[in-house]
């Protein structure tokens, strides 16, 4: 029996030493450091217990009992600290909190160290045996009961903290972590209670016998569930407190874990996450179900409280678990406002603020795209260049504010006069352009003439003044058999035709004729 218990305690102490060094070397995460010191204290205590049962006399037993108290007073409070940090009840152990928690253990340490002078902890010692094992009977003093009460209080708080953590976290793997730590703390408390309330006089240290069971429980959690690696500070700050909803999916679409933001997201859809299989919780949302089952990213649009919301659902593959099945992290972000702002910024970057038409950069970009499409499908494409007649005179006579009014009026006329599929833009100053999709040059000429007439019939009121407007238009088209021409080439031809319209007297339409290698006046019904 003595050999078996000795091996048992030796393995327990060795296991504590190993994991203490392991977690101390893993990094600076607060609960890792606390857990490392906890294991170190446990190893000292278990080693002292081992030496006591193998001592030859009472003096050696007293000595090794003293060694035990290098770590024993701090075990329960360190267990509590690990629980507080692990569950994020506190984020780090501040000086004031440490002083409050460790004041009793520190006093206990010094009282036990100086016990021969005052006997406040133990009043007497007696060597005995139980089941062939050397044990020690100790008459307990006042401070022993203060220390043991504080120990029980710390362990009870630890158990309550882990129990609350279990009830608050509804996802599978996370709940397993709390179950393991709960029972590890409970076993330790049972050992303390047996030590305190045992009715026999054999001096058996039940705590030393039960603590290795707690260690085995935690070791199982480390090996099986890797819980001391999953719930790190980064996990809590990035996962649990992330403004984006996060859902971890396991094999078969089972929800392993989720954060508060994810719970809020599903709550807005009147969906509870209590039922873990996706097919059950998303049976009324087939589109969302397909998104969650896929390994890609997607947008999900839904009406919430009468308003349309757009959610970005991104997927991060977490690799295969032990049975080879894939785990995924689904990130859910409400991008409604972001998309709205993005569209507003796009409008500002691509739109001429005065006319409401495309600016030059955007017009050329869209025109290049349409030209490429027309070349690919052998389609027709025409372009109109337009310039207000005598615009400088309007600015000089009526002021630049009047000029702005005229620009806005022309912009409105262009938008209302041409098709919605056409591309319209202000190239600068009083110069405008229209790209006519699937339009031949004769058809472009007809549309240009109609617009010229519309402008000529328009009157702009500036104060009490009525201003008449006219416009000159140049037209060009994609060459039928020339796929090498660029949008710049067509713009240049239309601009040359516009220049010819100005030279012919303004208020007319001129088209570029490739065969004639010249610009030809088509209509001068209202010479300027």
Tell me, what DSSP letter sits at residue 486? -
Residues 359 and 329 in one domain: no
Q: Smallest Cα–Cα separation from 437: which of 370, 366, 362?
A: 370
Residues 394 and 463 in one domain: yes
Contact yes or no for 352/412 (Cβ under 8 A): no
- In terms of C-beta density within 10 A (0-12 exposed, 13-18 middle, 19 or more buried), how is residue 195 classed? middle
Q: What is the pLDDT of residue 370?
A: 93
Q: What is the pLDDT of residue 516?
A: 38
Q: What is the pLDDT of residue 231?
A: 46
Considering the domain boundaries, does residue 346 fall inside one? no
Tell me, what DSSP letter sits at residue 277? B
Considering the domain boundaries, does residue 170 fall inside one? yes
How many structural domains is the chain composed of? 3
Residues 369 and 330 in one domain: no
Of the candidates 233, 250, 279, which is a domain's last residue? Answer: 233
Residues 328 and 450 in one domain: no
Considering the domain boundaries, does residue 333 fall inside one? yes
User: What kind and span of H or E run contains 332?
Assistant: strand 326-334
Residues 435 and 478 in one domain: yes
Q: What is the pLDDT of residue 418?
A: 95
Q: What is the pLDDT of residue 233?
A: 47
Residues 228 and 254 in one domain: no
Q: What are phi and psi of 421, to 5 degrees?
A: -80, -15
Tell me, what DSSP letter sits at residue 239? I
Domain that holds residue 461: 351-523
Residues 253 and 324 in one domain: yes
Helix (H/G/I), strand (E/B), else coil: 467: strand
Contact yes or no for 72/41 (Cβ under 8 A): yes
Residues 81 and 35 in one domain: yes
Considering the domain boundaries, does residue 134 fall inside one? yes
Residues 375 and 324 in one domain: no
> Which distant-in-sequence residues (6+ apart) come within 8 Å of 177 by Cβ?
221, 225, 227, 230, 231
Of the candidates 194, 215, 233, which is a domain's last residue? Answer: 233
Considering the domain boundaries, does residue 225 fall inside one? yes
Considering the domain boundaries, does residue 114 fall inside one? yes
DSSP for 354-379, please give it: TTSSB-HHHHHHHHHHHHHHHHHTT-
- The pTM is what? 0.48
Catalytic residues: 430
Q: How far apart are CA 392 and CA 415, in angstroms?
A: 23
- In terms of C-beta density within 10 A (0-12 exposed, 13-18 middle, 19 or more buried), how is residue 141 classed? middle
The CATH number that applies at residue 454 is 3.30.70.270
Q: Smallest Cα–Cα separation from 382: which of 431, 438, 453?
A: 438
Packing angle of the helix pair 72-86, 95-113 (nearest 10 deg): 160
Considering the domain boundaries, does residue 208 fall inside one? yes
Sites in the chain below the pLDDT cut of 50:
199-200, 230-233, 515-516, 518-528
Residues 255 and 224 in one domain: no
Residues 203 and 58 in one domain: yes
Q: What is the pLDDT of residue 305?
A: 84
Q: How far apart are CA 500 and CA 510, in angstroms?
A: 7
Of the candidates 319, 340, 361, which is a domain's last residue? Answer: 340
Q: How far apart are CA 334 and CA 311, in angstroms?
A: 4
Per-residue tokens: 110: 């010094």
Contact yes or no for 454/413 (Cβ under 8 A): yes
Per-residue tokens: 232: 């790190």
The CATH number that applies at residue 153 is 1.20.1070
Considering the domain boundaries, does residue 528 fall inside one? no
The CATH number that applies at residue 270 is 3.30.450.20
- In terms of C-beta density within 10 A (0-12 exposed, 13-18 middle, 19 or more buried), how is residue 176 classed? middle
Question: What is the tens place of the pLDDT at every residue in 371-387?
Answer: 999 888 888 999 999 99
Residues 284 and 388 in one domain: no
């Amino acid at each position: 029996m003595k050999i078996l218990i000795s091996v048992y305690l030796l393995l327990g102490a060795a296991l504590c030493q190993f994991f203490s060094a392991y977690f101390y070397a893993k990094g600076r995460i607060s609960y890792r450091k606390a857990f490392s010191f906890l294991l170190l204290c446990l190893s000292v205590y278990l080693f002292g217990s081992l030496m006591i049962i193998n001592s030859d006399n009472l003096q050696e037993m007293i000595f090794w009992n003293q060694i035990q108290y290098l770590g024993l007073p701090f075990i329960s409070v360190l267990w509590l600290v690990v629980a507080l940090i692990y569950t994020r009840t506190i984020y780090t152990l501040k000086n004031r909190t440490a002083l409050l928690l460790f004041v009793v253990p520190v006093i206990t340490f010094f009282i036990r160290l100086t016990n021969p002078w005052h006997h406040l902890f133990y009043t007497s010692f007696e060597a005995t045996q139980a089941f062939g094992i050397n044990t020690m009977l100790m008459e307990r003093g006042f401070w022993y009961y203060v220390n043991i009460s504080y120990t029980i209080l710390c362990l009870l708080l630890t158990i309550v903290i882990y129990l609350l953590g279990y009830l608050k976290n509804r996802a599978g793997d996370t709940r397993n972590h709390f179950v393991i730590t709960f029972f590890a703390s409970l076993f330790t408390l049972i050992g303390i209670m047996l030590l305190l309330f045992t009715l026999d006089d054999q001096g058996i240290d039940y705590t030393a016998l039960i603590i290795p069971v707690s260690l085995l429980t935690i070791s199982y959690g480390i090996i099986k569930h890797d819980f001391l690696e999953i719930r790190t500070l980064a996990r809590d700050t990035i996962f649990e407190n992330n403004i984006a909803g996060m859902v971890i999916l396991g094999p078969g679409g089972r929800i392993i874990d989720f954060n508060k933001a994810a719970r809020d997201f599903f709550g807005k859809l009147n969906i509870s996450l209590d039922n873990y299989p996706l097919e059950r919780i998303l049976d009324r949302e087939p589109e969302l179900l397909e998104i969650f089952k896929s390994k890609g990213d997607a947008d999900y649009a839904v009406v919430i409280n009468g308003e349309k919301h757009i959610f970005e659902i991104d997927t991060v593959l977490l690799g295969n678990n032990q049975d080879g099945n894939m785990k995924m992290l689904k990130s859910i972000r409400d991008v409604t406002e972001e998309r709205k702002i993005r569209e507003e910024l796009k409008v500002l970057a691509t739109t001429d603020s005065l006319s409401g038409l495309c600016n030059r950069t955007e017009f050329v970009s869209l025109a290049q795209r349409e030209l490429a499409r027309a070349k690919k499908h052998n389609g027709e494409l025409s372009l109109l260049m337009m310039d207000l007649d005598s615009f400088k005179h309007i600015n000089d006579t009526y002021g630049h504010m009047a000029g702005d009014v005229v620009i806005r009026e022309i912009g409105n006329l262009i938008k209302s006069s041409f098709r919605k599929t056409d591309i319209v833009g202000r190239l600068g100053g009083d110069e405008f352009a229209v790209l006519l999709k699937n339009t031949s040059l004769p058809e472009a000429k007809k549309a240009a003439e109609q617009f010229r007439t519309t402008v000529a019939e328009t009157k702009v009121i500036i104060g009490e003044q009525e201003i008449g407007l006219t416009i000159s238009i140049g037209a060009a088209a994609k060459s039928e058999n020339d796929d090498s021409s660029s949008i710049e080439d067509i713009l240049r031809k239309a601009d040359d035709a516009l220049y010819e319209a100005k030279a012919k007297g303004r208020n007319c339409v001129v088209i570029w004729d490739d065969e004639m290698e010249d610009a030809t006046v088509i209509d001068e019904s209202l010479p300027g």
